[in-house]
Structure 1
Amino acid sequence: MKALVRLSDRLGQRAEAALGPAVLPSLARFTFAATLLVYYWKSGLTKLDGGLTGLVSPSLGAYAQIFPRAMAAAGYDASQLAGWQHAVVIAGTWAEFLLPALLLIGLVTRLAALGMIGFVLVQTATDLVGHGALSDPAALGAWFDRAPDAPILDHRLLWVTVLAIPALMGGGPISVDALLRRRAYAVSG
């Protein structure tokens, strides 16, 4: 049995050393692009009523999505919200476009992945508290149950796990980061 464990360890260590840094970040970025890129861009588009001017003056829906309770309390009049709330809505709108794009091309990948993790955590808090998913067992779900499809706990954990790979390992060999790194070493080398 010891021989089998040692063989498995040796093969695993070789595969990890040879393929891990190349395959994992690229696979994680591909997985993000294939499953969440369009989701975030379409969500961002819902915040742009007037086209590109929505990047500085988001739609009423943007405020209602991000601050549902505050908007209800203000009678759905965004002008009644505080300045910091306007800044959060504008930053959130920009983030839904920029962070996924940066991950897609692999530019400042670690920072973009950390930003997306933060975005997912804020999005989750908004869904739980602002939109009431905390009191909706079907949306909230549970870990360690037999159903892997709860929109909040199950999906968001998978999203954060996929994003943790480029946050820790970078963009991989097929990224703008890698291209810039190769050029920097060629110039200084």
Structure 2
Amino acid sequence: MGALISLLVSLYQTVFGTLERLTSDWFLGLAARFVFASVLLVYFFNSALTKMGNGIFGFLSPSDGAYAQILPTLMEQVGYDTSQISFFPYGLIVLFGTWGEVILPVLVTIGLFTRAASLGMIVFVVVMSYVDITGHHIDAATIGALFDGNPSSMIADQRLLWVFVLLVPMLKGPGLISVDALLSSYYRRRERYY
């Protein structure tokens, strides 16, 4: 019996040790970026589109909806009149929030400045969740709770998974198939010649 257990342990370690060696340094970052892109890229892009003003330069002038989504309590206080809101700091917050909702997901997806972009997205998700809870006053069922046995809550469950997907490229890097890897390879070759 001991020989059988030893054989199974050895087989287990060989199979999963080989799998770990074959996928280290490239797979986890790539897989996390793929999951992020397939689940959240279009979500964030569509959300950003609702915040942009009209015309080709709409990205420079956030819509009233952007203010209502990002600063709901302040919008209530001014009677939904954005002309009553000062640009600094509130207009700047809305502008940067709108830009961040487009730029950061694209950077994570293509793997450019991946660690910083992933950290930025984590902060974005945390702030977005805070605004949803305190500013939009969503109900307790939508907020949910960790370890509540109900994996369908929008805040506690879904956004925790979003953050985890972003933690992987932030901590492990983007993987070999990324703009960061291409740039790193380019600079290593360039340094050899100088």
- Is the TM value for this pair above 0.5? yes
Distance 2:55 2:40 in 1: 22
Q: How big is each residue's C-alpha offset from its partner over 1:105-157, in whole Å with a ceiling of 9 and x where there is no partner?
A: 11111111011001000000000100112xx1221112223321111100000
Q: Do the aligned partners of 2:68 and 2:75 also contact (CA within 8 Å) in 1?
A: yes
Q: Structure 1 residue 8 and structure 2 residue 12: aligned?
A: yes
Equivalence map 1:1-189=2 (5 Å): 1=5, 4-5=8-9, 8-9=12-13, 11-82=15-86, 83-133=88-138, 136-189=139-192
State the SS of the aligned residue for 2:16. helix
Distance 1:52 1:87 in 2: 19
Distance 1:150 1:74 in 2: 32
Q: Do the aligned partners of 2:53 and 2:60 also contact (CA within 8 Å) in 1?
A: no
**Contiguous gaps of at least 5 residues in structure 1:** none
1:20: Cα distance to partner? Answer: 3.0
1:142 is matched by which residue type in structure 2?
A: A
Distance 1:96 1:25 in 2: 21
**Contiguous gaps of at least 5 residues in structure 2:** none
1:15: Cα distance to partner? Answer: 2.5
Larger Rg, first or second structure (1 or 2): 2
Q: How big is each residue's C-alpha offset from its partner over 1:147-174, in whole Å with a ceiling of 9 and x where there is no partner?
A: 2111110000000000000111111111
How large is the Cα RMSD of the aligned pairs?
Answer: 1.6
1:53 is matched by which residue type in structure 2?
A: F
Q: TM-score, normalised by structure 2?
A: 0.89
Distance 2:92 2:163 in 1: 25
Q: TM-score, normalised by structure 1?
A: 0.92
1:99: Cα distance to partner? Answer: 0.4
- Number of residues of Structure 1 aligned to a counterpart in Structure 2: 187
* Counterparts in 2 of 1:3 and 1:129: CA distance versus 1, 3 Å: farther
Distance 1:142 1:131 in 2: 18
State the SS of the aligned residue for 1:131. coil
Percent identity, please: 47
